[in-house]
Structure formats: structure tokens, C-alpha cells
Structure 1
């Protein structure tokens, strides 16, 4: 049997590729273009590692992989392995059952884990013969053929050929075989073949998922006593893991009752079985319906226990599953309640040793104050080469000069479902790589741990728990990590923690604000979204805001208002709004000094995103406090744009829009412009809601608009008086005062018009009386 390195990918998604030295030793002759074809093209890698959404569209386009591996038959020199496999396949074709069995044993021992032997088996027609043997009723031949296919299907080309030859239907039939060993081997081969999207789609379409789920129904005692039963369940679990990558596969798995079967197997202790079981859960909880069912069934408690596993592969998968599921409040609370958060922080400290050691060397005083000095229990600390920039400036300077983001891992989808990195099952692997940086799996484990801590920190009552475990300085140290996905999660966690004043001070003291400002120069949308949010949280602190302004952070935030991603625009505008909330001297002048900044902000009032509009209106309300800035915004058409938005029936936008209009109406001239633009009548309708967050700014806006007589007429005609009278009974004193002042202005105008009308009528009557005389 082939021995493979433990992988975090679903089965069949990693091709076995030999080293360059082994290829050079092979005597198979290939042309230059044929050697180039040995490498899987980018399109094939996207098919193998594409996102879930793209898989559904591309699954039927896989008719597909052309034969990329062609031997040059013109060469007179073929390897000994080739002729050996050729001879064994010839015996398979013409021999008796006994001869066939012996040939299968020979093929099994011929080194099919090597790429050259796999291609040779394919070229001499061995795969067709093996599939024909599976159609027979000879048990020994069936088992031998399945064992050979299991070893040979490690190569993507072999899997594609098996699928094209109709092997999927043959294997599905053997999954229901009467012999347990045959069922297990068939499921194991299916797990590898289903690494192809087209094969996976065909298996799901043909109803293969319920058959695989049926194999999971095995008694725990039988699995302990019978290794063949355990192998059968393990093979079915790996096949279902491969199918769960697809949305169709997850739906079929749920319909077949597979989630309950998988949950029952989580209590086992067999690592080889737990890995695919946790892998299935990790893939399934991509969707909300699965997350809720997993949490309701209590399976997350088993995942928390698996965080203590000695298997690195199982530990990483359990962490990634919990990271996805922790977006649920119940799962997040369970993590804190059952001690999972302590384990996550311990893993974070262990994997971030290089970065924490570097920050301790740079600033021992900060390390002592933040609690970084002092060994966490069970977490050995080893000195490694510093990854911090060696400059005379503060800790954060130079963070962007590190290796480009994403250098440790290839780009994957948002959820991180498909990763090419492999984690060795040997616990000593990390020690062997200790002298040359991080082990290959470090970034993947750090990504999962930091994501879980980020999701736990989303609840305000968990921030204190994270802070008490001294996780904040470790996260600050990880701001210098090279992997973009790790950075995204770390910044997201710090953005939630920075709302706590003590955490914000730690972030500032450790140079985190400086590093966050430098990260604004990155291009990743996910990272930029979290960085702008984190800086917005930091800006609520005066010292952090001062550091942000000194290091040109406001200008960089403003520049992201031009970002094509509307979510980044809204997040940057919110961060700017938080900066402008502070009454910092000279801040209005800084805003004016940004060339084209106010014009850019006003232009975003034409955006189609409600989040962007709300954030921009909130920022305009702060900028309008300065008369000069208000005049500049008025020149750029802010009054007209705000008036057009008044007719929007969006309760999220309305309070910010009303606040912006109230802030702009500091003079009667501006109020007149709003009245002429038609903003008064729509604002009256805002008073019909019971939401106090909308009523308060609306009353303030109507009060300031009522300073202009023409607006008072519009208010009266729009039926504002009864609504304002109702506002007088509000418990909010600001609402009461604003409504009373607005009614007073309307009443004064009515009295004035009444006096004017009476005076004019008297003059008219006197004039007519004199004419009669």
C-alpha cells in the first residue's frame, strides 16, 4: 500500500509528484514540451483547488483533462520499471485467475507511488484491465485490483483516466459488495477519484452519497475488534469528505442523514478516522444551516476536546472547523465556557514564538508591562532569528517591508477550504524546520487559531477573557507575519479588541498603530477592510488618534474612499468619522489640506451602497462643524445630494442623513437651499417612526430648517404640526426642545402672516372708503 504524508485536503486533491533527482534517474525519454506538460496547468489547479461557487459552474466542463502525460515511444531506451509493468499487465490480460492474482501482487509491489510507474501503467492499458477485473466475481482478483488502483490513483492523470473509462460506476457498485474489505477499498478509491469536480458531480448525481453514508453505520465494538470494518468506515468518510467540497454534495449528505452519523463517530479515538470526520464537518459548516445543526447537536464540544489532540493534522482541522462555527454566538460562548479559548491562546503563543521573541528583544519594558515575559504553561519558548525590522524607529516601522503577503501559502478561497499546504504527521517535523523559519503548517494553524479568536472577540463580554489570557500582545507581534490570511485574521481580532481602552493602549505601546497604518498600503480587500475597521476603533483613543494623525494615517484612510470595493469605502468613511469626532485642534485645517478630499467625500453621496451613504453622511455631519469646510461642501453640491437622499425609505440611512442635514443648516441661507431642493417635506415623514435614533436627529434638523420662513410653510402644509406636538411628550429632552422650538417658529410665522394680513386688509378697506367719498 502507498504511504502518504498527512494532508489537510480532502482525499484525491493532492497529486504525487516525484523530485527532480528521481526524474533525472528515470531513463524514459521525453521532449521539452512533454516535460513542461508534466506540470499541471493553472486551469487544472483551479479545477482542483477552486472555490465552492466556481466548482458548481465548472464541474461539467471537465471533459476535460487532455492527456498531458505522453511518453516518447520513439526512444529506444525505456526504463526497467516500464517493461516490468508492461509484462505484468500482459499477464493480467491473458492469464488465469491464479496468474492474475500473482500479477496483481506484483503490480502492487512495483512502486506505483512513483509518477513514472503510474504513467507506465496508464500507457500500457493497465487501467482498462483493472476495471475489467473489477467487473468479475472473483473476490481475490477484485481485492487485488482495488489495492492496485488505490496506489495508482494518487496521480491526477490516473484519476481522470479511471473516470473517463467508466470506473466511477464500477466502484459505486462495489461499495455495496457483501465483503467488508471490498467495500472499504472501493470507497477509498472513490475518495481519490472524486478529487476531480466532474467525478464528484457524477457520483452525487448518481446517488452515490447515500451509499457511502450507509457505510458509516458500523458498531463501535465491531470497529474496535475488526480492522476491516474500521478501514471500510474510514474509506467512506474520506470519500464523503471529498464530496462535501461541493454544495450539491453537502445537500445530498444532509438528506441522507450523514450529519448524525458523523456526529456519532466524533467520540472515537481512532485518529485515521477522526481526520476525515472532522474534515467533513469543516466543509459542511461553510453553510449556515449546517453550523446551526452542528451547534444544536453539541458536536462543537467534541471539536473543543480535539484541540488537545497530539495529531497536528487533526488539531488544525478541529481549529479550522471551530473558527468557522464560532461566528455563532452559542459556539463562541461554548469555546469560552469549556476552556477552548485557553487552548487557542496557547496554540497562538506556541506558533508565534518567533514574533514574540523578536518584540521582547526590541522592547523588554513593553513585554513586561503586557505580560509577555513569563512562560505560558506547556508552551516551550525557543530563540529564533528575529523577523522584526532592525531600525532605530518604533516597533511598527518597516512592517510592510517584509516578504510579500501570501508568500507562505497560495491564494485560496475566502473560507480557506482548499489549501495546498500539508502538515506532517510527525510531531518532530516542526523541530527539524526550527532553524530555518516556520514549518509549512504553521501559517495554516495560525490562520485558523487567529480566526477563531477573532470570532470569539466579536462578543463584547468575551473581550475581557481574551485580554486576561495575554493574547493582545501576541496578536500585536503577529502584525509582522508574512502570510496575508494570518494578517487579515489578526487585524480583525485587534479591531474588535481595540474598543477596550486597555487593549488599545497595549496596541499603541507595541507599535501596532504604526504597523496598521503601513498595512493601509496593501492591496488585499479583506485585509484592508479589517485594517480600516481596526484604525477606526483605535481612533476613539486620543493618544492613538494623535499617533494616527502624525503618521499620515488620515490621508491614507481618505485615499481608500476611492477604493472600488464599497465595503472598504464604508469602513474607511466610518474610520474617518471616528477621527473627526475628537475635538482636536487643527483637525479642520487638516481636512482642508487634503487635496480633493472634500470633493471626493461629497461625490460618494451618489453611491448605490446604503452602507457607504450612511458612513459618508456621518462624516459630513462632523466636517460641517467648521464653517469653511461647510462652505466648500456646499460649493461641491452637498446640499443637493443630501436632499435627493431624503426620499430614501431606509431606516439605516435616515438617522445619519438627518444628522448631516442638521449639521449643515447652521445658517438661514443653507436652510433655504435645502427647502428649495425639496428636503423638508420628506423629513416630516421621518417623525412617523417609533425609532428614537431617527426621531432625535430629525427633530434637530426640522428645528434648524424652520428658521427659514418658507420652510415653515412647507412644514405646516406637510402635516408636521401634529407630529411635533406628539414629540413634546417624548422622554428625550433633546427631542422635546427641538420640537418645541420648531413649533414656536411655525407659530411665529403664522402670527406674523396673520398680522400682515390684518394690516393689509385695513389699508384696503380705508382705500375703498375714501374712493366712495
Structure 2
């Protein structure tokens, strides 16, 4: 009939407004009947019939509208003209008939709805404009073909996330779960596809499981139909993406068929569907996110996953990497994963690929990051060649890949063995790039990696880092609003400052300015490293002026008030280094460091005490500082430290007291604060240096006539008599000086002689040390002023020694 040319007069009658309505109706009905033949559809479209029918579907007459819409429905069933129907507005006539209450008409409309639902432009209108209810109604239809079309339509509509809520509000999910029980394979397949698409929404996934879909989906994994397997595995994959569902699904028997299908795919002779295998591997990947599932996967699935490195399907190989990457998140899994031979696969996929997606590379790098947390395995990773792909990954356009790369490099740099290889292997430019990225996550890991590498103080590593330009990003990151980044930058600077070879460079680029900002940092750890960096820089005297100029030394006064033990220890260390330079003593006095040192001496940490005592000892070489220290009641604090069990602390306390006792007022204060008992104990110390310094303090104290009576009363003379027998010339010298000073007071001369010290003084005149001879002779001379002592002096044989000294023999 088409060939005979009936279309032209029929179209003319259908369009005409001059003919009788009944004639127009029959003309449109005739066209509709012709549209029932698929072979006519192409002609309809080419001759403009489709546009006319769509236009007539809005005619005033109900029968004309219905016949025109019916014709459009028939044409719309043809997938070859779906695009034209959609673009010309053919969906509305189809929906017009779908909204009728007549089941037979709805049954005729269903194929058209199914065909049109494949076009994205139609998915939302079908749901919102009356097509969904008709489709849902046929899911349980007695006709398997109608049920298949309905399930397929829902599957298509569910590809749009905006349709989820509308579909969920209908009875679609319940009916789809029922369709899984159909004896027809195609119905089950389309129902599984629809449920799989819907389960991409976590909340709908819960609904699907509550409706009882799991017992029907799991057996479908063993279906002889590959497409059914594929859709079931897709649905199970999406359902397993919700970690709360995983325990329920595993208890429902998911794991065994999942592993069976995955393992079967490794057989080259099997006809497994690769797409199904991919979904199975992704399901395992989802399950591996939950640490509770990992032991089971490691026990029964790791060997299988490792074998996928040689699988013929690249996507399967990639998805196996996803799963292994998740397993690498647990330290307990790392050694078995390495033993399985998966490392080479992970390194391979860490390289950039032609794949437009960065997911594979991301997972591989994330896996390397996880393995790099193991202190032994991180060395093996580098030996196996992981640095090259990681360096390349640092340039990946994906921010997530770059973040994982920075974290992996940070972990690798924790190994002493890796540091040198990373510094010389091209990692530094990659880290510098990551540190300058402007993204806090990349910056913090890159800064930490640089700090880890800088821990290798020996050798040329730090010099290489400086030559590569590491200082520039560190200077920029020093002002970061992220405390974690500032912390790592401060640590890095402190490590650079720990090597004297780097000091000149740090001073030249004014790194002390940035380091000084850490001293005011609100972050405790950043402040600690900042102080330590300044302290390390202060080891070199060439840096001292720079530290004073930028205000770093002045800022230490506030840092000394910190509640952090390590910070206070670093402050004391810094002050010791600064105070070791006599040129700094006057500036230190002006900055008021005395109060800070007294505070540090009062601390309960012995390392802080030791460093603070060393600093005080150096500064007490200045008379003004000695007076400031005494005025601030530093002497009682120092005497309290003398009770420490630590020999080094005692040694420095004694040396500091010796310097302090050079001042006249301080001599009296030491005695008044009951320092004699401590000094007497020190003179009996088995440590020669403590004994030497304590005896020197006693000699200094004895220069004050105000002290001498108390010293005699406290039995100092007996203690001096004891140390005069010391094998140390230094001790003998100071003891002789002390006795000489005390004997200068006429009143105490008989007491000294009566104590039996005369023989020790006579022996000291024969000492190889000329100062020891001098002090002994001075003491005997003072004792000889008292007439009652002269005979005893002669009897002790002092005269030959005096004559010998007088002759300069």
C-alpha cells in the first residue's frame, strides 16, 4: 500500500480541516495501522509523517488524538528511529496513552516506553509525567515479555540518580525483587540490572536487602547465562559498597560463590564473562574496605588476587589492584601481600597509563603508601624500583594521586637506607613541586618527606637538598595556616641547622627570620622545633649576630615559660650555645636572660637543668650577670641542683658556683644559703672535677673574712685536710689556696694547725706545681704570724721547703 502511494492522500485528509471529522478519523486510523509495520517506519520519518502524527496527537478530537498517539507508539517501538522520535517530541503522545486506564492500551504502550527509555533525554519525563506507574504495573505481568520490558524500562530509568526517589516511592523495588524469582532468565536479568542501578544509592540498597533480594541475587552468580551473571554481580557490587550491609551479605553466603566465579576466570579455558569478573573483583574491593573482612579475604582470596597480574583482561588486572590496595591499609596484611608477589604488579600500575581514569594509578600508589608504613618492607619497595613511578605520579593531573604520592614518599623517607637514594634518585624535585602545590595535604606530606630525608646529617645529602632548591618551598610554607605543615617545616629547618656546613647558607637566605616565627607559634611542636633549630644554628658563632638581629634570642625568654619539657630543654640548649661566646654576654645581660635561666634551673627535667647550668656557668664569667643572678635568688636554686644524682649536673653546678663565688657579695650569699654542706660533700666526690671545682669555690669563699668563722665552724678545715691528700694537683692547689685564705685571719691560725693540716701544707711546698707551692708557702707564712705555731712549723720541717722556694729552686 505504501508503494502504491496511499500515504500522500491519507496525509492530506488527516491534515485537512475542511473534510468531515469522521473522514479525518479514518485517515489517521489508517495511518496508524500502516505504522504497525516496522518496515514502514523509515518512510514515515523521511516523509515527515512522524511530525504530523505528533502534531495530531494534540488535536481537539479525542479519537484523532488517540489514533495519532497510537501511531507514534508503534513508531517509537523501533530503536532505529528512537533518536528522531525523541527529538521531534514523540514522547508526549506515548505518555498520553500511558496515562489511560485501559490495560490493553497500556500494554501496547509498554514497548514504546521501553525503547524510548534508552534515551537519556526521556528518562526523567517518563518518571515524572505518568509513565512510571504503567511500567511498574507490568513487572508482575503473566506475560514474560511484558515483565521483561517493564524491568528493562525501570533499569533504564534508574540510570538517572534524580529518578531514584520517584522509583522508590512506587512499588517498583518490591516488584523487582519478586521478578528475581521468575523462571524466565531474561526477566531475572533485567530485574537484577534495575536493582543494581538503584542500589547505587546507599539508602535504596538497604531497602532492596530488606525486601529480600539477596537470596535470589547470590545464586544468579552461578547462572549459565553470562548476562544474568553480569547483572547479578553488578547489583551485589553496588550493595556491598555500603559497609553496613557487608556482614549481612557475607552471612548470607556471598563469599564462596564470589570467589568461585573470580577464581574460575583465571582458567584460560573457561568462558567466564570478563565484565562479571570485574564486578566480582570490585565487590571484593568493597569488602576489603572493612578491616573486619580482611582476614577472610587474605586467607582465601589473596593468592587468587595475586594471580590476576597475568590475567588476559586489563580491567580485571586493574580491579585486582584495587582490592590489594585496600588490603594494604592494614599492617598485618603487608608481609603476606609482599610474599604473594604482588609488589611488582603494584609498581607497574603506579606508572601513568593511557587510561583516562586515574583510579588504577591511585589505588596502586595508595597500596605502595600502605606498604611503606612497614619499616622493613619500605626498603624493599625502593629496591624493587618504586621511586620512578612515584616521581612520575607527582606530576599526575589528579590531586588525589598526587596526595597519595606525597604520603608514600613521606613513608619511604622514614628509612635510613632510603634517604640517600631518594635524595640522589630524582625525588627532591618531585617533593619540591608537591610542596609548592597550594594543597595542604600534599604540602604536609611533602614537607614531612623533606624533613625525613634531612635527618641524614652525615654525608652530602643536606647539601644536595639545598642545591636542589629545597629552602625556597620551606620558606614559603613557614607561614602556612596549617599547624601540621608549620611543624614539619620547623623540623626540617632544625635538621638543616644541626649540620654546621648548612649554617652559612641558612644565614645567607635569612632562614633565621622564618625560624624565629616558630618561636611565637601557637602550635607546641612547631615552637619546639623552632627553638631547637635556633639552638642548632647557635652552635656556630658566625650565626650569633644574625640571631640577635632578628630577635630570636630575645624571644627565647618567652619560650622558657613553655609547659612543654622538650621546648624548655631546647631553650636551655640554645642559651648554652649563645652563652658560650663571651662576645654575647653583654647583650644577654641587656635582654634579661637571667630570669629565664633561673626558671630553667628550677625545672624538674635534668637535661634542661644541665644545659641551663652550662649557660649560667658561661654567663657568670661576667661580674654584672653574677650580680643579677644573685639578686634574682638564683643561688638557692643552683644549690638545690647540687643534690642531683646526675654526675654531670653536679659537675656543672660546682663549676658555676666557682664562677659566681668570684663576686664579693655572692661569696656571702652562698654561705648564708647553707652552701658549705653541699661543697663539703662535693669535696669528697669520687669525680675529680667535682672535687676540684668545689675546692675552688671554698677557696674563693675563704677570701671573705665574713665567711671564715662559719667555714671553720662547719668543719671545712678537716675537709680541706682530706683533699690535700688528693692525687690531683688541681685539687691540691685549690685546697692549699683555701687554707692560705683562712689562715690569713690571725684568730684561726691555731685552729688550722691543731687540725693537723700543717704537714699537708709542708708536703705541698714540694709539689711540681708552682702555684701549689706558692699557696702552701703563703699558708705557712700566715700561720707563722702566730707565735704559738712557729715551733710546730719548724718541727714539721717547713723551713727547708721555704728556703727552697725562696731560692726559686
CA contact (8 A) 1:454 1:496 kept: yes
- Look up the SS of the partner of 1:678 in the other structure: helix
Corresponding residue number in structure 2 for 1:394: none
CA contact (8 A) 1:323 1:448 kept: yes
2:133 maps to 1:214: yes
Structure 1 residues 564 and 166: CA distance shift in structure 2, 3 A:
closer
The alpha-carbon deviation at position 130 of structure 1 amounts to: 6.0
Deviations 1:505-551 (A, max 9, x none): 55445543223333326343222222222233344567865654444
Question: Which of 505, 530, 535 in structure 1 is aligned with 2:363?
Answer: 530
**Mapped partners of 1:315, 1:105: distance in 2:** 40
Structure 1 residues 494 and 85: CA distance shift in structure 2, 3 A:
farther
Structure 1 residues 318 and 631: CA distance shift in structure 2, 3 A:
same
The alpha-carbon deviation at position 464 of structure 1 amounts to: 0.5
Tell me how many residue pairs correspond in the alignment: 556
CA contact (8 A) 1:85 1:121 kept: no
Structure 1 residues 545 and 217: CA distance shift in structure 2, 3 A:
closer
**Mapped partners of 1:544, 1:106: distance in 2:** 74
**Mapped partners of 2:318, 2:375: distance in 1:** 25
Corresponding residue number in structure 2 for 1:410: none
2:432 maps to 1:566: no
2:251 maps to 1:251: no
Corresponding residue number in structure 1 for 2:112: 189
**Mapped partners of 1:106, 1:762: distance in 2:** 114
2:434 maps to 1:604: yes
CA contact (8 A) 1:643 1:677 kept: no
2:91 maps to 1:263: no
Look at both structures and tell me which one has the larger radius of gyration over its CA atoms.
2
**Mapped partners of 2:284, 2:8: distance in 1:** 59
Question: Which of 279, 282, 292 in structure 2 is aligned with 1:461?
Answer: 292
Question: Which of 434, 438, 450 in structure 2 is aligned with 1:620?
Answer: 450
Corresponding residue number in structure 1 for 2:518: 683
Question: Which of 696, 718, 721 in structure 1 is aligned with 2:559?
Answer: 721
More deviation, 315-324/662-671: 662-671
Deviations 1:587-624 (A, max 9, x none): 44433442x54234324321122222122122212211
2:278 maps to 1:447: yes
Corresponding residue number in structure 2 for 1:17: none
CA contact (8 A) 1:618 1:657 kept: yes
Corresponding residue number in structure 2 for 1:636: 468
- Look up the SS of the partner of 1:268 in the other structure: helix
CA contact (8 A) 1:92 1:129 kept: no
- Look up the SS of the partner of 2:513 in the other structure: coil
Scaled by the length of structure 2, what TM-score is found?
0.58
Alignment of 1:320-719 (within 5 A): 320-354=234-268, 383=269, 434=271, 442-468=273-299, 470-499=300-329, 504-505=334-335, 507-519=337-349, 520=351, 522-524=353-355, 525-540=358-373, 548-584=381-417, 587-594=418-425, 596-627=426-457, 628-650=460-482, 653-654=485-486, 656-667=488-499, 673=507, 676=511, 678-680=513-515, 682-684=517-519, 687-688=522-523, 695=524, 699-700=528-529, 702-708=531-537, 714=552, 717=555
The alpha-carbon deviation at position 178 of structure 1 amounts to: 1.4
- Look up the SS of the partner of 2:293 in the other structure: helix
**Mapped partners of 2:262, 2:286: distance in 1:** 15
The alpha-carbon deviation at position 495 of structure 1 amounts to: 1.6
**Mapped partners of 1:633, 1:241: distance in 2:** 58
- Look up the SS of the partner of 1:181 in the other structure: helix
Structure 1 residues 151 and 188: CA distance shift in structure 2, 3 A:
closer
Deviations 1:691-747 (A, max 9, x none): xxxx5576345434344457695386388537721x3xxxxxxxx4x2341242466
Corresponding residue number in structure 2 for 1:149: 75
The alpha-carbon deviation at position 257 of structure 1 amounts to: 6.1
Q: Which has the higher contact order (CA 8 A, sep 6+)?
A: 1
Structure 1 residues 605 and 120: CA distance shift in structure 2, 3 A:
same
Please identify which structure carries the higher helix content. 2
2:77 maps to 1:173: no
Question: Which of 207, 216, 219 in structure 2 is aligned with 1:308?
Answer: 219
Alignment of 1:91-240 (within 5 A): 108=36, 112=39, 118-125=41-48, 127-128=50-51, 131=54, 137=63, 145=71, 148-152=74-78, 154-155=79-80, 158-200=81-123, 203=125, 208-209=127-128, 211-215=130-134, 218=137, 227=142, 238-240=152-154
Structure 1 residues 714 and 349: CA distance shift in structure 2, 3 A:
same
Corresponding residue number in structure 2 for 1:291: 202
The alpha-carbon deviation at position 683 of structure 1 amounts to: 3.4
The alpha-carbon deviation at position 176 of structure 1 amounts to: 0.8
**Mapped partners of 2:353, 2:434: distance in 1:** 22
Deviations 1:410-469 (A, max 9, x none): xxxxxxxxxxxxxxxxxxxxxxxx4xxx6xxx232122221221122122222102123x
**Mapped partners of 1:718, 1:215: distance in 2:** 80
**Mapped partners of 2:218, 2:174: distance in 1:** 18
**Mapped partners of 2:212, 2:570: distance in 1:** 59
Corresponding residue number in structure 2 for 1:423: none
CA contact (8 A) 1:454 1:492 kept: yes
Corresponding residue number in structure 1 for 2:231: 317
**Mapped partners of 1:140, 1:761: distance in 2:** 111
The alpha-carbon deviation at position 665 of structure 1 amounts to: 3.8
Structure 1 residues 106 and 170: CA distance shift in structure 2, 3 A:
closer
**Mapped partners of 2:152, 2:67: distance in 1:** 24
Indicate the RMSD between aligned Cα atoms, in angstroms.
Answer: 4.4
Scaled by the length of structure 1, what TM-score is found?
0.61
CA contact (8 A) 1:212 1:239 kept: no
More deviation, 88-97/257-266: 88-97
**Mapped partners of 2:122, 2:375: distance in 1:** 59
CA contact (8 A) 1:88 1:103 kept: no
**Mapped partners of 2:75, 2:42: distance in 1:** 13
CA contact (8 A) 2:139 2:175 kept: no
CA contact (8 A) 2:73 2:94 kept: no
The alpha-carbon deviation at position 568 of structure 1 amounts to: 2.5
- Look up the SS of the partner of 2:480 in the other structure: coil
What are structure 2's unaligned runs of at least 5 residues? 15-22, 539-543, 580-584, 595-618, 627-809
**Mapped partners of 2:397, 2:66: distance in 1:** 63
- Look up the SS of the partner of 1:245 in the other structure: coil
The alpha-carbon deviation at position 170 of structure 1 amounts to: 1.0
- Look up the SS of the partner of 2:179 in the other structure: coil
**Mapped partners of 2:73, 2:158: distance in 1:** 24
